[in-house]
Chain A
Amino acid sequence: AQTVTQSQPEMSVQEAETVTLSCTYDTSESDYYLFWYKQPPSRQMILVIRQEAYKQQNATENRFSVNFQKAAKSFSLKISDSQLGDAAMYFCAYLPVGDSNYQLIWGAGTKLIIKP
């Protein structure tokens, strides 16, 4: 079965410092997409960053970047220069491509706390 694991239920970081959230997934597929979503206290899910499995270059969006290790099935999120507004639940998600289901598979989430 395809699964997504976020092994850190909660992480904390000092404001302006860097934090890395881990995500691993289990799949036998070779083509897929990976996403990081953020869910602040307002509860709306917001896309942070996305990665195509066939692209070796790690995706970057401003202060957010990923370390995509396809062989290790790892997709960690690095947040640089952490800001108070980054405090949220972060969810890693996997989307298999090539079958007809197109169902996003979600990790359980990591709660990120920013210390001022």
Chain B
Amino acid sequence: DGGITQSPKYLFRKEGQNVTLSCEQNLNHDAMYWYRQDPGQGLRLIYYSQIVNDFQKGDIAEGYSVSREKKESFPLTVTSAQKNPTAFYLCASSIDGGSLEPQHFGDGTRLSIL
């Protein structure tokens, strides 16, 4: 079945450490997204990519970095510069960025600080 796989499901980070969240899709979608969700809040866009080797900052990109070397993969690195990284992270993809076709979501990764 086609879908989006996020790993790991749970991740712990020590102070001053960078961690990378994986997102892989086999839907042949061009666009991919990373969102952060905090308790009781909606989704906030961290980064998005409309095509391979290109990505754009979202509303809360500071302290995060991404790469898009392959169409299927869009990993998110939470750097030590992100001072409040504890949150639920959702990866999504869509056929393209600007159509009625919906975004498809992975199951998410919960990141906590040790």
Q: Which residues of A contact B (CB under 8 A)?
A: 4, 9, 33, 35, 42-47, 50, 52, 91, 95, 97, 101-104, 106-109
Q: How close is B27's CB to chain A, nearest CB, in angstroms?
A: 14
* Interface segment out of the listed B12-20, B41-49, B61-69: B41-49
* CB–CB B97/A102 < 8 A: yes
CA distance A91 to B42 in the complex (A): 7
Known contacts A43-B108, A45-B90, A108-B42; is-contact A103 B58 (Cβ 8 Å): yes
Question: B residues within 8 A CB of A107?
Answer: 42
* Cβ 8 A contact of B43, one of A46, A50, A101, A106: A106
Contact residues in B for A102 (Cβ distance below 8 Å) = 31, 48, 50, 96-98
* Bound complex: CA A108 to CA B42 (Å): 4
Chain B contacts to A: CB under 8 angstroms: 31, 33, 40-45, 48, 50, 56, 58-59, 88, 90, 92, 96-100, 102-103, 105-108
Secondary structure type dominating chain A contacts: loop
- Which of these, A9, A33, A42, A50, contacts B107 with CB under 8 Å? A42
Cβ contact within 8 Å between A108 and B41: yes
Tell me if B40 and A50 are in contact (CB < 8 A).
no
Number of A-B contacts (CB under 8 A): 54
Which B residues are in CB contact (< 8 Å) with A50? Answer: 100, 102
Q: Which residue of B lies closest to A51 (CB)?
A: B100
B45 touches A44 (CB 8 A): no
Closest-by-CB residue of A relative to B107 is: A44
Please judge, given known A-B contacts A43-B88, A43-B108, A91-B42, whether A104 and B103 are in contact too, CB under 8 Å.
yes
